[in-house]
Structure 1
Amino acid sequence: MSLQTFVKISAVTNLSDARYCAGMGVDMLGFSLDPSAETFVDPTTFQSITEWVAGVQLIGEVESIEPETLQELVKNYSIDGLQLVSSSDWKGLQATDLTLLCKVSWSEDLSLQNFQIQYEHIKPYVTYFLVESEEDSITPEIGYHLAQIAEHYPIVLGFGIQQNSILQTLSSIPFKGIALKGGQEIRPGYKDFDDLAEILETLETE
């Protein structure tokens, strides 16, 4: 199974999501490693989920991390990469050979110029900038700014993704890919995949 673009699934909490998405050919599965997060996955659960999937990168999702904490995290979780909001040492993190994603919260003033001011200094160390927002859709104004930014930075779109417009969005703006969110199981082994399935099936290649 293969998809027309790079896809990351964020906030995976259960085996149902992990196996379904891996089977559909997504590139990354993200797991929240922040104990204060609602979607936190402890080391035992992480291992019980990930031992059943193959062919995907496993990404630890945290707000920020210090070197000593990273050593402990890597010891407890077999991750291939990290997604952070901020770090005081992106260069040092890159030296660990982990794939690095920087999570960006979209704001009204996030023009190309402002994006450069905030993120140009870490561009050499970051594989993807994952842009998220509370917005339900991509307005023409947002699309204009995203298109400018995506021309200069490896942007993964994490909001406004709809089944009936995703192909047009990907053809009109040079995103490196998209990010979708996992969900909670109804009960162990039972999951409603409607939203995920619609988008992933739309992205399937012939």
Structure 2
Amino acid sequence: MFRSVGFLCERKSFQTMALKTFVKISNISNLSDARYCAGMMVDVLGFNIDPTSDSQVSEEDFKEITEWVAGVKFAGEFHGADLNQIKESVKKYPVDYVEIHSLDLVEQVHLLGKPIIFRLSIEDENELSKLKSNLSYLDELVKMVVVQSSNSTLTDQIDSQIGYYNGNLKLLKGYGIAEDKNMGNYPGLALEATEEDRPGYKDYGQIMDVLELIEED
């Protein structure tokens, strides 16, 4: 069970404040992360609710965590689930957004009536060449796109292409943040939470560093 009052942060305590840009935090799995991020005025907290994942957050844990935070939206994150599994999970978890990775599912999930966050991974030149067309396709079907890449040789090219994008999507930068914390042409950031050191104790690492950097003066 989660601690119902307070939690300890090994780096410093926090107070409610505003951020200069839109922020989504993925992979929330504990109350410490949820309360810290809500206190820092993050916009969206993402939870792995994929029934095919070994790291799925249970319905009970989701309820306990979300009952203790306010002022944020919740995203249900899916990795390998099919349409029926997504549909059933959305009935059980009261999420505001559905996050998916598969282009093949976009139109079907769109019909479920929940705003979609799409996680677009760019790991090679082939995927980079499709960035513009993929964003054009997603433009009328999803609300946000998290652009991510672990290939540091592509980041400058990705940044350049994003600079020419003029559609309706809210694009969230999900790569290269730890290195330079440069927003580039993105209106938002996507960060990933980590496990607690032990219940109630957490070193927020990169999340704290980035959120402090984009606090309102």
Q: Do both proteins adopt the same fold according to a TM-score greater than 0.5, normalized to the shorter chain?
A: yes
Note closer, same or farther for the CA distance 1:135–1:115 as it changes in structure 2 (3 Å cut): closer
The yes-or-no answer on 1:179 pairing with 2:190 is: yes
Which secondary structure does the structure 2 equivalent of 1:201 belong to? helix
Note closer, same or farther for the CA distance 1:85–1:34 as it changes in structure 2 (3 Å cut): same
Aligned to 2:115: 99
Alignment partner of 1:17 out of 33, 43, 58: 33
Contact 2:50/2:86, CA 8 A, preserved across alignment = no
Alignment partner of 2:211 out of 194, 200, 206: 200
CA distance in 2, matches of 1:37, 1:70: 12
Unaligned runs of 5+ in 2: 1-16
Which secondary structure does the structure 2 equivalent of 1:180 belong to? strand
Aligned to 2:177: 161
Note closer, same or farther for the CA distance 1:141–1:154 as it changes in structure 2 (3 Å cut): same
CA distance in 2, matches of 1:24, 1:34: 27
Between 1:14-23 and 1:36-45, the stretch displaced more is: 36-45
Which secondary structure does the structure 2 equivalent of 1:183 belong to? coil
Calculate percent identity across the aligned residue pairs.
33
Alignment partner of 1:43 out of 43, 55, 59: 59
Q: TM-score, normalised by structure 2?
A: 0.80
Which secondary structure does the structure 1 equivalent of 2:120 belong to? strand
In structure 1, what residue type is equivalent to 2:216?
A: T
Aligned length in residues: 199
Aligned to 1:28: 44
Which secondary structure does the structure 2 equivalent of 1:25 belong to? coil
Between 1:101-110 and 1:116-125, the stretch displaced more is: 116-125
List structure 1 segments (4+ residues) > 6 angstroms apart after TM superposition: none
Quote the offset at 1:158 in angstroms: 0.8
Contact 2:38/2:71, CA 8 A, preserved across alignment = yes
Which secondary structure does the structure 1 equivalent of 2:191 belong to? strand
In structure 1, what residue type is equivalent to 2:110?
A: Q
CA distance in 2, matches of 1:144, 1:121: 19
Between 1:31-40 and 1:76-85, the stretch displaced more is: 31-40
The yes-or-no answer on 1:52 pairing with 2:63 is: no
Aligned to 2:77: 61
CA RMSD of aligned residues (A): 2.4
Aligned to 2:124: 108
